[in-house]
């Protein structure tokens, strides 16, 4: 990407996020702090071996997800969205090739229809990805994603994934739950390693309207940072939005998960949130008790992240490989 195009893209990005209340734009520095907080707290989590996950196959994964929804009174007709082609499950490889399989999901609109694709390898992780992607599906507007939705959709999807992992733990897949939790934290941190550079460039642009080397060195003069690494990261990104929703989502989902564990957040509120995020940012913030965050109060979130770390560290991994 040429620098000229980059300015255009950053301008468009800023224009989109300032279309509605400036909470996100005004608080980009807070989002940046959330990213670093997540990174610092979880940077020494042991990387689990994905080959130790249980292979269950597509049908069992779908059954587990359906049972999870049923037990938690979550109103999603999995059979219907599979049979009408909205969800597509792709199996990449046998369990012995587990580590090389593509693990992830995509949520999109294809030819005017919602489309959910889960790419997995038949392990219990596929179910977690399915729950994550169905969560996005649930709050997708009928025609396109909305800006309000953008900010919260990742936070809810990661939250619902964490709750599903608890279900796995309670239903005979204890070690899988431990692996998926650790894997998710490490994966998020790998994203943050790139994203934080992106955020710093956006903050620079927001405050100076100039992302030249000269401006960068002046703005970040007391830090040991190399402009070339940063500008490279910015030019690498095709979707600046997606990166920012993710950063918000990583830390906020863990905060919401701990709130759920303390009975301060219910499944009913999560269901309300699916609707609220397309209607009002303020309503979403009230539902999640996140008012403080936009006054620079990150203490509750910090404490939740630490509590979550303590929770997963008391659970030892069983290694098969």
Interface stretch with Zn ion, choices 112-120, 154-162, 218-226, 294-302 (CB under 5 A): 154-162
Interface stretch with Zn ion, choices 25-33, 40-48, 157-165, 183-191 (CB under 5 A): 157-165
Distance from CA of residue 6 to its chain's centroid?
25
* Residue 244 in the binding site for Zn ion (CB under 5 A): no
Interface stretch with Zn ion, choices 92-100, 116-124, 141-149, 152-160 (CB under 5 A): 152-160
Q: Is the CB of 157 or the CB of 287 nearer to Zn ion? A: 157
Q: Is the CB of 10 or the CB of 116 nearer to Zn ion? A: 116
DSSP string of 279-295?
T-HHHHHHHTT-GGGGG
Q: Is the CB of 133 or the CB of 259 nearer to Zn ion? A: 133
CA–CA distance, 6 with 209 (Å, rounded to integer): 12
* Contact pattern for Zn ion over residues 103 through 142, marking x by CB under 5 A: ----------------------------------------
Q: Is the CB of 129 or the CB of 285 nearer to Zn ion? A: 129
Using only C-alpha atoms, what is the Rg of the chain? 20
Minimum CB distance to Zn ion, residue 136 (Å): 6
Question: Which residue sits closest to Zn ion, CB atoms considered?
Answer: 157
Minimum CB distance to Zn ion, residue 1 (Å): 24
Give the closest residue to 97 by CA, choosing from 128, 124, 121: 121
H or E element that contains 135: helix 125-139
Burial of 162 from C-beta contacts in 10 A (0-12 / 13-18 / 19+) = buried
CA–CA distance, 159 with 271 (Å, rounded to integer): 12
Minimum CB distance to Zn ion, residue 108 (Å): 11
Q: Please provide residue 191's backbone torsions phi and psi, each rounded to the nearest 5 degrees.
A: -65, -45
- Tokens encoding 182: 């650790």
Residues binding Zn ion: number (CB under 5 A):
1
DSSP string of 33-83?
HHHHHHHHHHTTPPPPPGGGSPB-HHHHHHHHHHHHHHHTT----HHHHHH
Minimum CB distance to Zn ion, residue 132 (Å): 6
Q: Please provide residue 116's backbone torsions phi and psi, each rounded to the nearest 5 degrees.
A: -120, 125
> Judged by CB under 5 A, which of 35, 103, 128, 157 binds Zn ion?
157
Q: Is the CB of 134 or the CB of 276 nearer to Zn ion? A: 134
For residue 268, CA distances in Å to 45, 105, 119 come to: 32, 25, 29
Q: Is the CB of 155 or the CB of 265 nearer to Zn ion? A: 155
Minimum CB distance to Zn ion, residue 281 (Å): 19
Q: Is the CB of 61 or the CB of 149 nearer to Zn ion? A: 149
**Using CB under 5 A as the criterion, which residues of the chain lie in contact with Zn ion when the complex forms?**
157
């Amino acid at each position: 990407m040429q620098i000229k195009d980059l300015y255009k893209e950053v301008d468009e990005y800023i224009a989109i996020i300032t279309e509605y209340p400036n909470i996100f734009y005004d608080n980009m520095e807070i989002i940046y702090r959330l990213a670093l907080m997540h990174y610092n707290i979880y940077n020494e989590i042991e990387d689990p071996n994905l080959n130790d996950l249980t292979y269950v196959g597509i049908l069992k994964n779908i059954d587990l997800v359906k049972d999870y929804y049923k037990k938690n009174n979550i109103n999603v007709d999995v059979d219907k969205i599979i049979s009408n082609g909205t969800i597509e499950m792709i199996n990449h490889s046998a369990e012995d090739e587990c580590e090389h399989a593509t693990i992830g999901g995509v949520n999109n609109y294809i030819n005017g229809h919602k489309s959910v694709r889960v790419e997995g390898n038949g392990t219990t992780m596929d179910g977690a990805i399915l729950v994550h992607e169905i969560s996005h599906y649930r709050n997708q507007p009928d025609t396109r994603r909305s800006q309000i939705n953008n900010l919260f959709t990742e936070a809810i999807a990661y939250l619902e994934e964490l709750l599903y992992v608890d279900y796995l733990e309670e239903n005979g897949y204890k070690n899988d739950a431990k692996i998926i939790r650790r894997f998710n934290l490490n994966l998020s941190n790998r994203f943050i390693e790139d994203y934080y550079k992106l955020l710093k460039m956006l903050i620079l642009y927001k405050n100076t309207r100039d992302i030249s080397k000269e401006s960068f060195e002046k703005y970040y003069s007391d830090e040991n940072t190399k402009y070339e690494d940063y500008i490279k990261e910015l030019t690498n990104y095709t979707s600046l939005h997606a990166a920012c929703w993710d950063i918000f989502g990583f830390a906020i989902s863990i905060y919401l998960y701990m709130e759920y564990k303390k009975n301060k957040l219910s499944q009913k509120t999560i269901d309300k949130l699916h609707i609220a995020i397309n209607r009002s940012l303020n309503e979403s913030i009230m539902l999640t008790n996140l008012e403080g965050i936009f006054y620079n109060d990150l203490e509750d979130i910090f404490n939740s992240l630490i509590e979550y770390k303590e929770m997963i560290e008391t659970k030892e991994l069983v290694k098969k490989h």
